[in-house]
Amino acid sequence: MNLGLLEELVRTPGVSGHETRVKKLLIEKMKGYVDEVNADSFGNVSFRTKGNGGPRVMVCAHMDEIGLAVTRIDDNGYIRVIPIGYVDARILPGKKVIIYSADEEHESIPGIIGIKPIHFQKPEDAKREISVSDLHIDIGCSSKEEVERLGIEPGSAICFEKLFDRLQNDRLSGTSLDNRAGVYVMAEVAKAMQKPEADVYWVASCQEEVGLRGAKVAAFGIHPQLSIVLDVAIATDTPDLGTSFSEAKLGGGPIIVSIDKGIITNRKLINLVKSVAKKHNIPLQFVTVSAGRTDGAEVSVARAGVPTIQICLPLRYAHNPAEIVDLKDIIATVTLVKGVIEEFGNGW
């Protein structure tokens, strides 16, 4: 498995609404393996592998990531921001960030989110809630004009510093593995899928982290009969998560999120996935949660309804600049998704 593509996906910035660079990378890497490429007017890109009379299947993985956006530039050159997506403000102070433009019309500019030195912190500072609006980014400039000359303006996108490392036991840590790892799985399945019965549309959706917007548009346009949504789900095998959540281990196999805030999965579809997993000897994990949604929430209710399965990679430390996944889960998920699409081709 070519992990180089995963690393490239991780290192390419793509905060929601600013996914152009990720899209360009995917088009370059996928065009030789698919029959059609379609970048829609909303910001999604879909790749089609033509079928042979089977159902129209939409495989969907969101390519955007959480981040920040510039809201104002102070006279003394500090940059103020708002969160894009579900950002934990407590982890931000002291982090390195990159301010970039989606279309590369100006260079990527590094900065540091300001943090009050521990020497000057008062006991009450430790208890104070942190809000993103209290923070500032320091890029080394000392005036508003200096910042503006770099092409930075309200709306400019900001991502976390891009990290990618191989850890022990085939585990990988990286920035925005939610959901570049899902996009990577989709790309690997597409490359391995030659002449399927099902007519497959591989969608890298935009703006998932701000409300599943891209998937909604794509599902309407493609009008699929069945769908597989690839995303990540939180592994609950860390000491801080206790026993009140579904059991989900890193390395324990793909997670079927059967119920979440956006979907209650069709049982027939779950049984089909179970039988494919059994055939290929893939362990499955099942998660039901009351919070969280994936693109599946929108795809499943598109038009007259689309039976949709959410196949997710277990992931630790979600929405932190360095998340962790297990390569074994990635490999198993590629096999599972390929098997499910083949099964769809046999009739639903």
The footprint of Zn ion (CB under 5 A) covers: 178-179, 231
**DSSP conformation letters of 62-116:** E--B-EEEEEEE-TTS-EEEEEESS--GGG-TT-EEEEE-TT-SS--EEEEE---
CB nearer to Zn ion: give 231 or 326.
Answer: 231
In whole angstroms, the minimum distance from the beta carbon of 232 to Zn ion comes to: 5
CB nearer to Zn ion: give 49 or 173.
Answer: 173
In whole angstroms, the minimum distance from the beta carbon of 218 to Zn ion comes to: 15
In whole angstroms, the minimum distance from the beta carbon of 231 to Zn ion comes to: 4
CB nearer to Zn ion: give 49 or 176.
Answer: 176
Which of 33, 20, 111, 60 lies closest to 294 in space, CA to CA? 60
Which residue type is seen at 49? T
In whole angstroms, the minimum distance from the beta carbon of 319 to Zn ion comes to: 9
Cα–Cα separations (whole angstroms), residue 228 to 131, 182, 203, 287: 36, 11, 10, 16
In whole angstroms, give the CA distance from residue 65 to residue 318: 11
In whole angstroms, give the CA distance from residue 215 to residue 206: 7
In whole angstroms, the minimum distance from the beta carbon of 345 to Zn ion comes to: 27
CB nearer to Zn ion: give 276 or 312.
Answer: 312
**In degrees, to the nearest 5, what angle opens at C-alpha 302 toward C-alphas 296 and 308?**
35
CB nearer to Zn ion: give 178 or 197.
Answer: 178
- Active-site amino acid positions: 208
**DSSP conformation letters of 319-331:** TSSSEEEEHHHHH
Q: In the complex, which residue's CB is closest to Zn ion?
A: 179
- Could you tell me the maximum CA-CA distance found in the chain, to the nearest angstrom? 69
CA 252 vs. chain centroid, Å, equals 20
